[in-house]
Amino acid sequence: MLVHAAGESSPGNLPDDTHAVVLVARDELQLALLADKLEAHGLRIKRVREPDAPYNGALMAIGIAPAQKEAIRRLVSSVPLLK
């Protein structure tokens, strides 16, 4: 789902210095709240849902379109990095 979210949020033709960062949400609610927060601050995102059972439309990932690193970091700082 991670790769799908990244691809869906990419406008294509990204600069060579573009980076992908993987964060881990506790659950679907935290992911949904984060998505809402990012959109409220004007960032373009893509919500990725799993249509098949057993998830049946559950939010599984979000992709954030490239933006200023500082703006994104401030909004996602409460979500840990994937290790």
pTM of the model: 0.83
Tell me if 67 is assigned to some domain: yes
Output the pLDDT for position 81.
Answer: 93
Tell me if 83 is assigned to some domain: no
Per-residue pLDDT band at 3 (split at 50, 70, 90): low
* Per-residue pLDDT reduced to its tens digit, 22-70: 899 999 999 999 999 999 999 999 999 999 999 999 999 998 888 888 9
Number of domains observed in the structure of the chain: 1
Tell me if 81 is assigned to some domain: no
Residue 38: HSE in the Cβ half-sphere, 13 Å Cα cutoff: 26
Tell me if 52 is assigned to some domain: yes
Output the pLDDT for position 58.
Answer: 97
Tell me if 38 is assigned to some domain: yes
Domain limits at 49?
Answer: 2-76
Asked whether 73 and 19 are in contact (CB, 8 A), the reply is no
